[in-house]
Structure 1
Amino acid sequence: MSSADPSAPRLDLLRRATAHLAPVVPLLTELGSLFEQAGHELALVGGPVRDAFLGRTSPDLDFTTSASPEEILAVVKPWADTHWDIGRDFGTIGARRGDHTVEITTYRADAYDGQTRKPVVAFGDNLEDDLVRRDFTVNAMALRLPGMEFVDPYAGLPDLAAKVLRTPGPPEVSFGDDPLRMMRACRFVAQLGFEVAPQVRSAMKAMAASIQIVSAERVRDELTKLLMAPAPRPGLRLLVDTGLAEQVLPELPALQLEIDEHHRHKDVYEHSLTVLDQAIALEGPADGPAESVPGPDLVLRLAALLHDIGKPATRRFESGGGVSFHHHEVVGAKLATKRLKALRYDKDTVKAVARLIELHLRFHGYGGGQWTDSAVRRYVTDAGPLLQRLHRLTRSDSTTRNARKAALLSRTYDDLETRIERLQEEEELAAVRPELNGNEIAEVLGIPPGPVLGQAYKHLLEVRLDRGLIGKEAAAQELRTWWATRSATNGS
């Protein structure tokens, strides 16, 4: 790498970046030479360059070039093990060689016309103009190849050192080109621990409503990346403080309920952010077993963030100065379902998040451990495959500053988990089902398959949950008793 008159800190950063890129330098120089021989410019750009300075490894290598998509293909086809042109209309060609995936894009600018949800693509003809069109200065740094010349026309390296997000040009122009960049700023705050420059924050506030022209799918993907970051809280704060959350996730700022001197209750917004922090702390390692809820876990994080969104709609002021939120878990589950569907999350994620929100208060009926074994079985079967996430969500929901109360809640949940483990060992609760299968039920009652058989099966399942394992003979007798009562009631 070369640069004109760099300062000592900058030299140090350059050395570190060079060392970090060392494993891919042969590939960079080889690919750069191929493009150079074909008469084209090529530069490593964006995230891989930024991450090299941060000591992070990017999974993919992003390049920009003076070559057209057709010219890119002509160069990479003989070189790559495989290639694809799904992004050809946007100037991007993808390829894989060995363990490395590369994306090569023609110098370009993405811009919205202010009305449609799809960006308009325009190709450029030089690196500096391509860089000025990028989202932030820390992503507008490049390495010209094959010579590994460092290019930083918009002072991205000083901003990287200062951990600040600025735009290469006026932020109003950058966000006008692509409003999703405002959400990306929130994501980088969460992922990288950066702060946004004052002028960037001001532009985000002024232009928040323009995020509406971006497709729900792109907004969803950016929100997901933010939530899956190591520390989502600062990014979520920025999302709320700039007004972006009001546009894409209005249930979150709605948690900032006004608290007056007569009606005291916990700050629901701050509580929800703390619950998210605590849930993340309870995730298992990324390579851990499924029962550890390996992190980052999107379902758990969404449920933690949204678990109380039913409170604003259910808040009631009580005569003694207190505040109640009756059935907020039911209302919250419905609100979460509606919002996540609007953001185009998949059905399984929507269903799982809503179910966790619906169940997150169930533990509080446990009291001092008075639940019967039947109630514990129902807790487990109602949670189903979400049980381990429910454990973590419930524990995370304790944000009291009262140490004695917090310790009591923790011990009580410890006791519930112990009881669950004992019953699971004894009764295989994870696969709880009636002690007679469908064929056996049909044989005992002498009935064919159909709705009545389904009712009989459901009755035996209730017996199983209420009484545990009672043996097949007792289950058959219970079934005959139910059948006799049913027949008498129906007059048959």
Structure 2
Amino acid sequence: MAHAHQKTDLHTVDFQVDPVVLELGQRFVDAGHELSLVGGPVRDLFLGRTSPDLDFTTDATPDQTVALIKKWADNFWEIGRAFGTIGMRKAGFQIEITTYRAEAYDPESRKPVVAFGSSLTDDLLRRDFTINAMALRLPSMELVDPFGGVRDLHASVLATPGAPEASFSDDPLRMMRAARFASQLGVAVRDDVRVAMTRMAERISIISAERVRDELVKLVCGRHPRVGIDLLVDTGLAEFVLPEVSALRLESDEHHRHKDVYQHSLQVLEQAAALETDSDGAVPGPDFVLRFAALMHDVGKPATRRFEPGGAVSFRHHDMVGAKLTTKRMKTLRFDNDTIKAVARLVELHMRFYGYGDAGWTDSAVRRYVTDAGPLLERLHRLTRSDVTTRNQRKADRLSFAYDDLESRIAALREQESLDAVRPDLNGAEIMALLDLKPGPVVGRAYKFLLEERMENGPLDPADAESRLRAWWAGQPEADAANASVSPESPASPADVESSPTEESK
């Protein structure tokens, strides 16, 4: 690694960069151009972090950049050429080199209008936040920090290089990025930035759903997701990005007859994140599916709130309503179908456990719980445990002990049965052979019957399963029809007798 000490009025930083960075810088300087490491990679040097993704800025045009790197890079691509960006791979690094530029959004357009610049300082001015508006000139390793990025990083403050209104007008997605950095880095947003986000929140609507989604995922998976979500809600951005979460604030009524559902949801999000395991565990963190389900688990409450006689408040079926609202929101944000189904299923199942501690469950109910959760079971365990935010320690302990008991019963049944893949004791081919059926809906009904038997009674031996299947089949209308048409013992109808020749009449 290459080293350089950069003294500032705040501290001394020991910058360590890979030799490939200095080698690339030397190539540009030898050709009469400037090259600087810029943005996140520079910020991360101060945070003691490294990344395989490196961003550079230069006064060279895209054509000049290609000429300098095409034989040096392992491979390169020009997908971002229209924006002044050339991408490449070298020695395991993914590298982007972008020509100095000024970038602005047309007020009614999602696409930026690009103009190339000629100054590093001007290029840094157009970047999103001061902590990302620092550069290291190469190969000299000179720190360029015209807008106080080091100062703000040490103060844990998020500020813009210029007026925040101008920055967010250039790219409204930067308002989402502010919330994302608040989550990832734990930084506080400066007051003028917060005010601008509030005034300009509606402008996020011109940004594509995919870009908003990507920032939201990074926010939810950050170290401080509660801070990021709270910033979205407080500034009004959530009204356009996650209105269902903003609506949770309406659940706090003036008589305080039930808990603040919005704050409860943020606490559940925090607690779910804390229950994630590392990469060797059952739910490696950060896990977006678990975290987003925790955030969205109660979004069905505003639509289902009812004030009962005596002052009680109910939210009947808010789990089902919430699952539908979650699905709709995630589709709007262009999430993939598998992620949508997983999050919505957790929202739908999050209430299933309640009542277990009071009434207890049969083995059949435990099997159904595991089967309905399927591959989401470990996440459901964590979501259900996280959903306890009561200050009543006795109630919290009771719920915790009850869930401990449920998990113990699941483990015990797993020892006795193939609980992770509950299937009927006879498969479709065996059902068709026994009942002399062809593929069709009747086979599906028979399969469902045996699955119910498996759920209720646990594993059956083949003879018992066959006996139960035949008893069920005897009561089906198709069985009666089949017997009437093919059984040689069926009595003949009068018409059959009259029209069929007898042996004597032949």
- TM class by shorter chain equals over 0.9
Specify whether residues 258 and 476 from structure 1 end up closer, same or farther in structure 2 by C-alpha distance, changes over 3 A only. Answer: closer
Helix, strand or coil at the partner of 2:379: helix
C-alpha contact (below 8 Å) 1:263/1:321 kept by paired residues: no
Q: Does 1:288 align with 2:277?
A: no
Distance 2:443 2:481 in 1: 18
Distance 1:198 1:392 in 2: 36
Distance 1:415 1:357 in 2: 22
Specify whether residues 332 and 149 from structure 1 end up closer, same or farther in structure 2 by C-alpha distance, changes over 3 A only. Answer: same
Distance 1:400 1:221 in 2: 33
Specify whether residues 490 and 88 from structure 1 end up closer, same or farther in structure 2 by C-alpha distance, changes over 3 A only. Answer: farther
Q: Does 1:35 align with 2:25?
A: no
Which consecutive residues of structure 1, in runs of 5 or more, have no partner in the other structure? none
Once the two structures are TM-superposed, the CA of residue 318 in structure 1 deviates from its matched residue by 1.3
Query: What are the within-5 Å matches in structure 2 for residues 190-205 of structure 1?
Result: 190-205=183-198
Distance 1:239 1:490 in 2: 64
C-alpha contact (below 8 Å) 1:460/1:479 kept by paired residues: yes
Partner of 2:203: 210
Helix, strand or coil at the partner of 2:70: helix
Once the two structures are TM-superposed, the CA of residue 489 in structure 1 deviates from its matched residue by 8.9
Distance 2:5 2:33 in 1: 20
Read off the aligned partner of 1:392 and give its amino acid letter.
R
Partner of 2:397: 407
Q: Deviations over 1:375-416 (max 9, x none)?
A: 100001011111110000000000011111111111100100
Distance 2:150 2:96 in 1: 23
Helix, strand or coil at the partner of 1:256: helix
Q: Deviations over 1:282-336 (max 9, x none)?
A: 1010x214xx110010100110000000000000011211110000000000000
Partner of 2:218: 225
Query: What are the within-5 Å matches in structure 2 for residues 49-198 of structure 1?
Result: 49-198=42-191
Once the two structures are TM-superposed, the CA of residue 151 in structure 1 deviates from its matched residue by 0.6
TM-score, normalised relative to structure 1 = 0.95
Query: What are the within-5 Å matches in structure 2 for residues 200-279 of structure 1?
Result: 200-262=193-255, 264-279=257-272
Read off the aligned partner of 2:448 and give its amino acid letter.
K
Read off the aligned partner of 1:272 and give its amino acid letter.
S
TM-score, normalised relative to structure 2 = 0.92
Partner of 1:349: 339
Distance 2:372 2:68 in 1: 57
Read off the aligned partner of 2:433 and give its amino acid letter.
E
Which consecutive residues of structure 2, in runs of 5 or more, have no partner in the other structure? 483-506
Helix, strand or coil at the partner of 1:102: strand
Q: How many corresponding residue pairs? A: 479
Distance 1:75 1:441 in 2: 69
Instruction: List structure 1 runs of 4+ shifted beyond 4 angstroms.
Output: 488-492
2:415 to 422, 425, 432: 425
Q: Does 1:386 align with 2:379?
A: no
**Structure number, greater radius of gyration:** 2
Once the two structures are TM-superposed, the CA of residue 490 in structure 1 deviates from its matched residue by 6.6
Partner of 2:495: none
Distance 2:81 2:195 in 1: 35
Helix, strand or coil at the partner of 2:87: strand
C-alpha contact (below 8 Å) 2:251/2:262 kept by paired residues: no
Specify whether residues 60 and 488 from structure 1 end up closer, same or farther in structure 2 by C-alpha distance, changes over 3 A only. Answer: closer
Once the two structures are TM-superposed, the CA of residue 54 in structure 1 deviates from its matched residue by 1.4
Read off the aligned partner of 2:362 and give its amino acid letter.
T
C-alpha contact (below 8 Å) 1:251/1:309 kept by paired residues: yes
Once the two structures are TM-superposed, the CA of residue 263 in structure 1 deviates from its matched residue by 5.5
Once the two structures are TM-superposed, the CA of residue 455 in structure 1 deviates from its matched residue by 1.4
Q: Deviations over 1:434-492 (max 9, x none)?
A: 11111111111011122211111111111111111121111111111111111389766
Q: Does 1:299 align with 2:289?
A: yes
C-alpha contact (below 8 Å) 2:20/2:91 kept by paired residues: no
Specify whether residues 490 and 243 from structure 1 end up closer, same or farther in structure 2 by C-alpha distance, changes over 3 A only. Answer: farther
Partner of 2:39: 46
Once the two structures are TM-superposed, the CA of residue 365 in structure 1 deviates from its matched residue by 2.9
Specify whether residues 234 and 262 from structure 1 end up closer, same or farther in structure 2 by C-alpha distance, changes over 3 A only. Answer: closer
Once the two structures are TM-superposed, the CA of residue 119 in structure 1 deviates from its matched residue by 1.8
Read off the aligned partner of 2:135 and give its amino acid letter.
A
Q: Deviations over 1:102-151 (max 9, x none)?
A: 11111113321011222222211111111000001111110111111111
Distance 1:277 1:168 in 2: 32
Specify whether residues 395 and 2 from structure 1 end up closer, same or farther in structure 2 by C-alpha distance, changes over 3 A only. Answer: closer
Distance 1:334 1:303 in 2: 12
